[in-house]
Chains A and B, each alone.
Chain A
């Protein structure tokens, strides 16, 4: 199995200034996930409140 090539390349990439702007699909993914997640947590929270542990 070959070693990871050129850690220096990876380090240079990580510290590069150039940014990739957020694409519309990325914004939809972030907002959509958060919205769905919060809604589902509220639903589960209500179930938790109204369905007591046996």
Chain B
């Protein structure tokens, strides 16, 4: 992604992008809820089954829209996404002429990757499934392996077709797509939490530990390493510490703003965060599958703590869920889907909540003790709200509404199928997220002359400390706790 685009994404957009995510996610959720009164407004959305016959893979979500057929549903989905997101792009100040063609190509490639990932040779898990599909081998990724295919497609474009990646850049907005997905996840988590209320509340308690770890432990260690071991100045060390410890892009930019660093410092840190996050997405889920397959929630918490950027963390959670569900299913243990990725997303949301508070604290310290200058602007408490990731409000809203409806006898029975319909949109936004993250990840950035020290401090902090402490804390709090089984 061009650095100009990074600046465009980082400078004034994050707040607007957050509210856009709330609006789009909220509208999808409300439209899905119309089903409670017998109005299926979203049943035309396309779904993809595991396939060997390519003509039988696609279908609309609801039988009432069967007349559309699979390809009709796909067309309707692409058109709907293009219209809604183009309108959203206009609110972000992006020209439709730039956005729409790029988005159409983006969604077509991304969905093609998902479609390919649903082929039985990639997705079939158990021997029974392989027999059913007539395949004698399979990578056993479940159809969520399509996320990996989408990510790989993006990586190939980023690293081998950089001009094409640049042309796509107007539509490559992983943070927007994952924020919309997280807003929708709120409703999904509410339905699963309502079924296991005590279990869910215990998980929330353990999520608090993640906040403590990220802000108070990771940040302090990474800041010290950056300042003392690598000799970074404060202007660099603070955004680096936030980017590596808290939440990648958003935290680095919030911190840069708080300490009044030059914008390009935070943007450069952010670009490295994205690349390292993708490296983690490609490694950690497979490590989890090998070593943590019998501790799925340890794995879920671990990737939520270790992978920075919302998009990559939730992406890693999705791949981890796919791999762990598959491995456990192969061993006869069928966990309910959604708990692993839900745990990862919840951990990330908890960490995100306090970005504004942390940014204000740093701003207060810098303006009162470090950047002292006569008449200099002091930190304002309004920065807490200004830096608060607004999309979390959407997540909380869909969670609260979903929970109320799930606990209300009149609506409880109908709600799971309605949320499943909304969840189909969540999957689609995940696919866009995975592909977009791949397109953003130009690994050549790691080898740019002069940035070796920046890469080194990131590598040392992440792979020398953050990942292992994250694993230890996740083990302490989640070992022995398993997701509910499919009933």
Contact = CB atoms under 8 A, between A and B. Distances in A.
B223 A37 contact: no
Given A1-B4, A19-B231, A33-B217, A54 B223 contact: no
A41 B453 contact: no
Given A14-B454, A19-B231, A33 B7 contact: no
Interface residues of A, number: 37
A2 B205 CA distance: 45
B228 A22 contact: yes
B228 A11 contact: no
Contact of B450 (A15, A22, A37): A15
Contacts, number: 113
A51 B2 CA distance: 50
A33 B476 contact: no
A53 B202 contact: yes
Contacts of A4: 3-4, 6-7, 264, 267-268
B476 A53 contact: no
Nearest to A25: B369
B198 interface: yes
A53 B424 CA distance: 30
Contacts of A14: 232, 236, 450-451, 453-454
Contact of B476 (A20, A37, A48): A48
Prevailing SS type, chain B contact patch: helix
Given A10-B268, A11-B451, A41-B212, A33 B228 contact: no
A7 to B, nearest CB: 8
Interface string A16-44: 01011011011001110110111011001
Given A44-B208, A54-B199, A34 B221 contact: yes
Interface in B183-224: 196-199, 201-202, 205-206, 208-209, 212-213, 215-217, 219-221, 223-224
Interface of A: 1-5, 7-8, 10-15, 17, 19-20, 22-23, 25-26, 29-31, 33-34, 36-38, 40-41, 44-45, 47-48, 51, 53-54
Interface of B: 2-4, 6-8, 11, 196-199, 201-202, 205-206, 208-209, 212-213, 215-217, 219-221, 223-224, 227-228, 231-234, 236, 264-265, 267-268, 365, 369-370, 449-451, 453-454, 473, 476-477, 481
